[in-house]
Amino acid sequence: MQAIVLSRRDVREYDQIVTFYTCEDGKIDLLAKGIKKITSKNAAILSPFFLVDIDYVGGKDLPRLTTVQQVETFDRLSSNLANIKLMAKSLDLINRVFRQEHDRKIFDGLVEWLRLLNNEAEVHQAIFDTFVLKLWALLGFKMVIERCVSCGSVSVENISVASGGVVCKMCAVVKKKDGEIVFPINKSERVLLRKMFEQPLKVINRSLKLEWLPDIHTIIYNFVIFHSHQPLADWGKDS
Ligand SMILES: [Zn+2]
């Protein structure tokens, strides 16, 4: 089955545990025996710069990787430091947040993202926000941006991360009293968020340069950390 390498870690002298995101089984850990031997021909393609096809057999403790073949390479990415950083941040995020979720659309979204990083010389920093926003929607946390999540009013000026979407003035007052974090949001920001949901990454990447509204990052970052129940570093800050 097709897979992307998320991370590798050493076990014993020549072996490693490789964490993959696969198209059929979601995130899995597999034991790659002998992968650190100089003669291992598989070592080079067990990296996020390749889309690979893998097979494995179930082991008592840990399933074992049996074959790995290259399907596609993201080799242009290897000379683009800015895009490598974005790739590393995204794989780390998926590695931390994902457990057993397996959804073909998540896998396809990840491949679309890596192809974008490979094919576009310049990727707007905010495209990572778009990728994360779409990913969280697939995980079941789709930000509501059309109507107040509490009363259905179309006149909205705020967004509550805990309630999962925009709220009207009246409902915002109630939510704030309840201790929810509420951010202001304007019409242009909602229009841009809708585009981020609807358009392919490649298309939105080209328009972000002109249209980007920085407050959207704060909204998306807070939305994501609230709905992932664990601390995540702010990907908008350069580390
Ligand atoms: Zn309302």
For residue 79, is pLDDT > 70? yes
Report CA(148)–ligand 1 centroid distance (Å): 5
State pLDDT tens for residues 106-153: 999 999 999 999 999 999 989 999 999 999 999 889 999 999 999 999
Query: Three-state SS for 190?
Result: helix
Q: How far is the C-alpha of 62 from the C-alpha of 57, rounded, in Å?
A: 9
pLDDT at position 239 is 59
Confidence of residue 67 (pLDDT cuts 50, 70, 90): very high
Please state the rounded mean pLDDT for residues 14-37.
92
The DSSP output letter for 233 is -
Report CA(141)–ligand 1 centroid distance (Å): 19
Report CA(228)–ligand 1 centroid distance (Å): 25
Please state the rounded mean pLDDT for residues 2-26.
93
Report CA(191)–ligand 1 centroid distance (Å): 19
Mean pLDDT score of the chain, rounded to an integer?
Answer: 92
Query: Three-state SS for 22?
Result: strand
Please state the rounded mean pLDDT for residues 165-171.
97
Q: What is the CA radius of gyration of the chain?
A: 20
Report CA(178)–ligand 1 centroid distance (Å): 14
Report CA(215)–ligand 1 centroid distance (Å): 22
- Are 164 and 149 in contact by the 8 Å Cβ rule? The answer is yes
Q: Write phi, then psi, for 165 (nearest 5 degrees).
A: 175, -170
Query: Three-state SS for 205?
Result: helix
